[in-house]
Amino acid sequence: MPKKLKTYQTSLGFFDQAIAAPSMKAALEAWGASSNLFHQGAAKETDDPDIVAATMAKPGIVLRRPVGSDGAFTESAELPTDLADDDAKPKRKPKSKPTSKQRPAKTAKKSSRKTDDQAARKAAAAFEKEERRREAERRKGEAARAKVR
């Protein structure tokens, strides 16, 4: 029986990356990380419903979006081209500290969507299929390099 998938997120380079994988180790391999980003605090498991839905639709595939944006994760994210100059940016007003009469804003609790068993099995099977495809691609590349040598 395939393992249950979890959604992991990190920020590498110019992109935020997310993937549905059965373990942290599998996520690190898919990202091509050579160190444990989870231990360093650069990666985490996420339960954001939008990110979970996007990664479960394409398990095993690394989805990207530009860093700092709140857009949707896609397979091929493009960097924004309409960056404004520093002079054109509006000046931000400094945040004031809450006084004893003011209450800090409450954060809304995130609703955790329960995925049904059938969808989870389907996503896990798709992840394994993508993992096998990636492994076959790696072997073909190694064979081609060996042939060149």
Asked, for residue 98, whether it belongs to a domain, the answer is no
Asked, for residue 111, whether it belongs to a domain, the answer is no
Domains contained in the chain, number? 1
Per-position b or e across 59-72, b if 16+ CB within 10 A of its CB? bbbbbbbeeeeeee
Asked, for residue 86, whether it belongs to a domain, the answer is no
3-state DSSP helix/strand/coil % of the chain, to nearest 5: 35, 15, 50
Please give the model's pTM, rounded to 2 decimal places: 0.55
Asked, for residue 37, whether it belongs to a domain, the answer is yes
Query: Domain containing 59: what range?
Result: 1-79+127-149
Which band of pLDDT confidence, cut at 50, 70 and 90, is reported for residue 104?
low
- Alpha carbon distance 31, 24 (integer Å): 11
**Tell me, what's the pLDDT at 147?**
93
Asked, for residue 53, whether it belongs to a domain, the answer is yes
Asked, for residue 107, whether it belongs to a domain, the answer is no
Asked, for residue 147, whether it belongs to a domain, the answer is yes
Comparison of pLDDT for 75 and 103, the residue scoring more: 75
Asked, for residue 56, whether it belongs to a domain, the answer is yes
